[in-house]
């Protein structure tokens, strides 16, 4: 259904059911948090051969300040639980834009599961249901690891 003034894409994507949202093999979540320098945020999670690796680029940091680190598999499960809690399987195929805004905010979520199912969602000044809750929960999980790592580095430098 189209509304006056909105651009929309008719999608043939299917909702990814909870039962198909098994272990995450790869997650990429990116969003812009404004138009200032370094206002982009990027989280990546890859689970392969029993090992979980994440990449964290928080708002206000440059690429060379990003963190790439191995984390326990429980981290990937906690991220999966966030996706399940907020029904992100329903986001699959979301692709909405507001072309009237030139310097707005955007997001992209791409998740591949070991089941072979995938969630892909993108928006520019348009967001799916529960977007803010998902963003806040993922921010909390990934940024907490980033800050723990920074604290560990500081403590290591102080002891040297």
How many structural domains are present in the chain?
Answer: 1
Q: Would residue 30 count as lying in a domain? A: yes
Give the Cα separation of 76 and 85 in Å (integer): 14
Give the Cα separation of 82 and 29 in Å (integer): 13
At 12, is the pLDDT very low, low, confident or very high (cuts 50, 70, 90)?
A: low
Q: Would residue 6 count as lying in a domain? A: no
21-76: pLDDT as tens digits: 989 999 999 999 777 778 899 999 999 988 999 999 999 999 999 999 999 999 99
Given the structure tokens 């206002």, which residue do they identify? 39
How does DSSP classify residue 91? Answer: G
Report percent pLDDT > 90 for the chain: 66
At 2, is the pLDDT very low, low, confident or very high (cuts 50, 70, 90)?
A: very low
Q: Would residue 8 count as lying in a domain? A: no
> Global pTM?
0.84
Q: Would residue 1 count as lying in a domain? A: no
Q: Which domain holds residue 108?
A: 15-159
Mean pLDDT for 149-157 is 77
Q: Would residue 147 count as lying in a domain? A: yes
82-101: pLDDT as tens digits: 999 999 999 999 999 888 77
Q: Would residue 7 count as lying in a domain? A: no
Residue predicted with more confidence, 6 or 36:
36
How does DSSP classify residue 103? Answer: S
Q: Which two tokens stand for residue 78?
A: 């906690």
Q: Which residues of 27-64 are buried (b: 16+ CB within 10 A; e: fewer)?
A: bbbbbbbeeeeeebbbbbbbbeeeebebebbbbebeee
Q: Which residues contact 129 (CB under 8 A, 6 or more apart)?
A: 87, 90
Alpha-carbon dihedral angle through residues 63, 68, 74, 75, given to the nearest 10 degrees: -10
């Amino acid at each position: 259904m189209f509304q006056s003034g909105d651009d929309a894409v008719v999608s043939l994507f299917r909702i990814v059911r909870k039962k198909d949202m098994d272990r995450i093999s790869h997650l990429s979540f990116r969003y812009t948090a404004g138009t200032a320098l370094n206002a982009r945020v990027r989280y990546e999670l890859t689970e392969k051969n029993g090992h979980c690796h994440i990449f964290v680029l928080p708002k206000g940091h440059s690429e060379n300040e990003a963190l790439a680190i191995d984390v326990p598999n429980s981290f990937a499960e906690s991220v999966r639980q966030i996706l399940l809690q907020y029904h992100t399987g329903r986001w699959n195929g979301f692709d909405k834009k507001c072309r009237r805004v030139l310097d707005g905010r955007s997001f992209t979520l791409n998740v591949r599961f070991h089941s072979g199912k995938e969630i892909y969602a993108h928006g520019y000044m348009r967001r799916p249901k529960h977007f803010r809750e998902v963003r806040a929960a993922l921010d909390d999980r990934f940024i907490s690891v980033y800050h723990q790592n920074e604290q560990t580095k500081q403590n290591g430098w102080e002891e040297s």
